[in-house]
Each structure stands twice: as structure tokens, then as C-alpha cells.
Amino acid sequence: MKRVLNVVGARPNFMKIAPIQRRMQQFPDDFQPILIHTGQHYDERMSKLFFEDLQLPQPDVYLGVGSASHAVQTANIMIRFEEICLKQNPDLIIVVGDVNSTIACSLVATKLHIPVAHIEAGLRSFDRNMPEEINRLLTDAISSYLFTTEESGTNNLLKEGVDSSKIHFVGNVMIDSLQYFSDIARQSAILQELNLTPQNYALVTLHRPSNVDDPDNFERILDAFEKIQEDIPIIFPIHPRTEKNIRSFGFEERIGAMKNLRLIAPAGYLDFMRLLRKCKFVMTDSGGIQEETTFLGIPCLTLRETTERPVTVDIGTNEIVGTNTGKIVRSAGKVLSGEWKKGAIPELWDGRAAERIVEVLSNAHTH
């Protein structure tokens, strides 16, 4: 029996851990999964709603760290997580993605000689100004089990000198969740509530510091939205960081004047999946949404200069559009005139990644 600490902290972690937690619960003789929530995200709409939608059990341990600077947040997670590791004495910890909770918990466990499994390993944007890139590089450097979602992840790790025996190409747990919950998400009433017609709105998410902490970049993107909303309604579920900056940069009036741009509260998982499946196209700076749109065959305009998920561009429906106003508007025009590429589903994005991961871990030599 392996005692495993499954770590979550921020919104994009919940849909990645859910399939692992569920799979482990099917093998109670082999695994005792213990769910740890660092509390990096704590708003009801950024956290609790996701536990309900994803049928996750209540966390066994809640560290309640909340928001702070990177150093303070990471340090607080480390201090509290070390106590939990000492108390729980796990055989293994699992971390997902690239948020501060991911690196904080990996570092603590490794120093206590507890093996770390990193899910979504090897992704690289090659932009070290992104906090997530630093979290990815460091977590991968100290993890014992590196589970990759696409070939680029495996290749990046090999190039960094990682022993191939540590790398397991298993597919994408985010897609496991998307498929598992697709029937339930169909019952969401969000389209009716917002009075939206399928295929007749664009969906936006924006929260990267490089876009929303920088008033010039943010304004260039808003300039593009101003034009695009003349042709198609835009729905914009608003991240707390983005909302705060809209206020502090004084953009409220400008946004209020765009009649066809609608800001809504952050959507839960099921409502967001419904919005995603039925939209005409997406404009985003998120990582995961690039993958979800590729799986669903929906055009995705990534408002960044790089992606750590190149398979979504190479074979999927994603394009790296950047933050130039004209380029965003032209790209949206391409979608609206039906000129966007079609795309295919990447290898092993088949809803069974968690099964593969749990299989590998059941044979793992642990602590």
C-alpha cells in the first residue's frame, strides 16, 4: 500500500488531479491517496466550485496559504507542507502543472527523500520571464517520475540530460477530465443564463502577468477586443488578478463602453466547458485552454509570444497570435470568414492518461 499525497493549489490543478485521485480510489489495496490543498487559490469561484464540479473529495489537509508575493507564497507553502510530510510520512507525492504550489511542494518532498511525480513534465516556453517556466524547470530537475503530455515534453527533458527511465509519455490528464465530465457539462444552463447562441460568441480568458500587469500590453489587447466585438459578442470570465488591474489601470469605463463585450464572474468547470464547446473561437493566454480547444477542434488565438505546448500549434487548432492589436483583429477575422485550420487530436489524448500514470506508479519503488 502506497500513501500518496496528491497536491493541488491553484485553479488549473484541480481538473488534473481529479482523474488521478479517482483512479487511485479504485485500488484501495494499492493506494491511499491523501488530498492536500495549499490554498494558493481560495475564492469560492476559483476553488470550491471546482471541487464540487469535479466531484473531488474535500481536501484531507488545507494549508490556507492565500495570496502573497512569489517568495512569501512559496515559502509559506513550504513551511506548512513540510509539517504535513513529517506527520503523514508519505511514500510519494504527486504534483501537477507549473504553479507556485508545484515547485514549493516538490522541493520540500525531495529534501525529505520522498519521491516526487510530476504530471505535465517537460513543457518549455523557453521564456524565463514567466514564473511558470521557472517552476517547470525546477520541478522537473528534482522529480523522480516525469509524466509527459506531448512529444516535445519528452524531448526537452532528454535534452536537459534527464535519464530516459524517469520519463513516461502518458497523454493528458486534463483531457481525461474533459471527456469524463462532457455529458454532465452538457446539462449546464450557462448559455441560456447568458442568453448566448452557440457558435455566435467568442470566449476570452486573460490573466498572465505579462499581459494584465502591464497597462500597455493590456490596452493593446483591449483595442483588439473593441474592434472584434463589433462583429461578434465576446464573453470574458474575469480572473481576480485581471479584475484588480482593470480597476487600478482605470479601464472600467472603456470596457463598459464596449456594448458587445461582457465581463462575467470566473466560471466553474462545467459551465466553462459548456462555454468552450459552443463558442466560435477562443482568445486566451492560458496554457490548459490551448489544449482543451485543440481537443475540441475549436480555433484558439493565443495572446502570447510563446507556447510551452507546441503540439497544439503543430497539429491542433491553436495559433500564437501575440499581443499586437492588428494581428489579433486579423486572426479573429480569419476565423469569422471560415479560413481557420482544422487540426487533429494529439497522440494519447484519449481520456486514459490517469490510468497509465497510476499503472506506472503501482510498480514504483518508493520510500
Long-range contacts of 282-285 (CB under 8 A, 24+ apart): 282/202, 282/203, 282/204, 282/205, 283/202, 283/203, 283/204, 283/206, 283/225, 283/228, 283/234, 283/321, 283/328, 283/332, 284/203, 284/204, 284/205, 284/206, 285/205, 285/206, 285/207, 285/208, 285/210, 285/211
CA-based nearest residue to 153, from 310, 300, 295: 310
Q: Which of 22, 23, 41, 356 binds ligand UD1 (CB under 6 A)?
A: 41
Task: List the one residue from 5, 7, 8, 10 that touches ligand UD1 (CB under 6 A).
Answer: 10
67 is an interface residue for ligand UD1 by CB under 6 A: yes
Binding to ligand UD1 in span 128-147, by CB under 6 A: 131-132
Q: Which of 103, 170, 168, 171 is nearest to 142 (CA)?
A: 103
Stretch that binds ligand UD1, among 8-16, 26-34, 153-161, 289-297 (CB under 6 A): 8-16
**Which of 12, 33, 171, 343 contacts ligand UD1 by CB under 6 A?**
12
CB of 136 to ligand UD1, least distance (A): 10
Q: Considering beta carbons, is residue 23 or 208 the nearer one to ligand UD1?
A: 208
Closer residue to ligand UD1 (CB): 100 or 331: 100
Residues 51-57: contacts with CB under 8 Å, at least 24 apart: 51/14, 52/268, 53/181, 53/268, 53/269, 53/270, 54/14, 54/15, 54/18, 54/177, 54/181, 54/269, 55/18, 55/22, 56/14, 56/17, 56/18, 56/21, 57/21
Least distance (Å) between residue 246 CB and ligand UD1: 13
CB of 198 to ligand UD1, least distance (A): 26
Residue positions counted in the chain: 367
Q: How many amino acids of this chain bind ligand UD1 (CB under 6 A)?
A: 19
Of positions 6, 38, 40, 125, contacts ligand UD1 by CB under 6 A? 40
Q: Identify the residue among 34, 78, 92, 99 touching ligand UD1 (CB under 6 A).
A: 99
Q: Does 42 sit near ligand UD1 (CB under 6 A)?
A: yes
Q: In the complex, what is the shortest distance from the CB of residue 3 to ligand UD1, in angstroms, rounded to a whole number?
A: 26
Distances (CA, A) of 264 to 190, 204, 243, 248, 273: 11, 11, 10, 18, 15
48 binds ligand UD1 (CB under 6 A): no
CB of 50 to ligand UD1, least distance (A): 11
Beta carbons within 10 angstroms of residue 367's beta carbon: 16
SS3 332: helix
| 3-state SS string for 66-128 | CCCCHHHHHHHHHHHHHHHHHHHCCCEEEEECCCHHHHHHHHHHHHCCCCEEEECCCCCCCCC
- Whose Cβ is closer to ligand UD1: residue 96's or residue 313's? 96
Instruction: For ligand UD1, give the closer residue by CB, 95 or 329.
Output: 95
Q: Which of these ranges, 137-145, 146-154, 233-241, 322-330, lies near ligand UD1 under the rule CB under 6 A? A: 233-241
Which residues, in sequence order, are bridge partners of residue 261?
Answer: 234
The Cα 270–Cα 189 span in angstroms is: 10
What is the closest distance, in whole angstroms, from the C-beta atom of residue 162 to ligand UD1 in the complex? Answer: 22
| Footprint of ligand UD1 on 197-226 (CB under 6 A) | 207
Shortest distance (Å) from residue 357 CB to ligand UD1: 21
Which of the residues 207, 239, 365, 367 is marked catalytic? 207
| C-beta of 88 vs 100, nearer to ligand UD1 | 100
The yes-or-no answer on residue 207 being catalytic is: yes
Among 240, 327, 345, 347, binds ligand UD1 (CB under 6 A): 240
Q: Which residues are catalytic?
A: 207
Which residues of this protein are in contact with ligand UD1, per CB under 6 A?
10-12, 40-43, 46, 67, 98-100, 131-132, 207, 239-241, 244
